[in-house]
């Protein structure tokens, strides 16, 4: 398995700018061999503005950025890409656009077979997993399937929020919503990535990075907390 993934919970951490909190991880991940990164801005409506944000940031790290929507043919753009970054926004809009542009299968092939690096943040992390069933977003559009790119066999809940004991909010907590998901049969594990955490996948090895713990939800089992630096490779064989 050649896959190399950097799955980030959030692109902007409180008190810092776009991707500032993980920029060293980004540089380590893409390294010196990658010169140009194919950016997928499908999760936001204004794709040009979003691509400019990514382009400006990655330029400071030494990388050129091409927006996939700027290409004549999206599939060809994926076939030629040295590396891929899918940004955050609305997960339903993102996945629908990936299907509409027929790039789901090609991204999967390039990452799993050719070994090109894939980075996702927020919604871009959601679509790298088994399905988008555990996203926090509203279904503003209807993708043909909730099945995602499937670069890992589990789900992720980016921006995972712990229950605030002092809150007067009476709606479901994030934990309750994920538990409801696991009440359905044959549902995979869900890794709750808090703000500031990210998962590095290299082949069959997975490591939790960042500054915050992650919480793992498994169907019919108690939840487990993992510290930054933890080896989560077992999730890749579930």
Active-site hit among 121, 122, 131, 197 = 122
**Is 45 one of the annotated active-site residues of the chain?**
no
Residues with Cβ within 8 Å of residue 149, at least 6 apart in sequence: 98, 104, 107, 108, 111, 127, 128, 129
The answer to whether the CB of 129 falls within 8 A of the CB of 156 is yes
Alpha-carbon distances, residue 172 vs 139, 157, 161 (angstroms): 18, 15, 12
HSE, CB side, 13 Å, CA atoms: give it for residue 62.
Answer: 12
Both tokens of 68, joined, read 């996939």
- Spatial distance between the Cα atoms of 130 and 238, rounded to a whole number of angstroms: 12
Active-site hit among 11, 97, 137, 197 = 137
Burial grade of 63 (CB within 10 A; 0-12, 13-18, 19 or more): buried
Active-site hit among 159, 182, 218, 230 = 159
**Is 122 one of the annotated active-site residues of the chain?**
yes
- Spatial distance between the Cα atoms of 160 and 109, rounded to a whole number of angstroms: 29
**Is 137 one of the annotated active-site residues of the chain?**
yes
Of 173, 208, 207, 213, the residue nearest 195 (C-alpha): 213
Which positions are catalytic? 122, 137, 159
């Amino acid at each position: 398995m050649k896959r190399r993934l950097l799955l980030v919970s959030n692109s902007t951490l409180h008190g810092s700018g776009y991707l500032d909190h993980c920029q060293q991880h980004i540089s380590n991940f893409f390294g010196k061999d990658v010169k140009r990164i194919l950016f997928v801005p499908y999760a936001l409506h204004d794709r040009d503005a979003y691509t400019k944000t990514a382009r400006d940031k990655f330029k400071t790290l030494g990388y050129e950025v091409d927006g996939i929507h700027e290409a004549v043919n999206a599939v060809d753009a994926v076939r030629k890409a040295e590396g891929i970054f899918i940004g955050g926004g609305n997960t339903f809009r993102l996945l629908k656009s990936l299907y509409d542009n027929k790039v789901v299968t090609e991204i999967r092939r390039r990452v799993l077979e050719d070994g090109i690096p894939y980075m996702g943040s927020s919604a871009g992390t959601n679509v790298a997993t088994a399905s988008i069933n555990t996203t926090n977003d509203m279904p503003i559009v209807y993708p043909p399937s909730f099945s995602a790119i499937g670069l890992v066999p589990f789900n992720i809940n980016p921006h995972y929020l712990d229950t605030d004991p002092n809150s007067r909010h009476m709606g479901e907590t994030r934990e309750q919503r994920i538990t409801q998901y696991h009440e359905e049969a044959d549902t995979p594990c869900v890794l709750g990535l808090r703000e500031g955490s990210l998962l590095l996948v290299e082949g069959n090895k997975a490591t939790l990075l960042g500054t915050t713990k992650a919480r793992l939800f498994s169907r019919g089992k108690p939840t487990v907390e993992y510290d930054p630096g933890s080896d989560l490779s077992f999730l890749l064989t579930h």
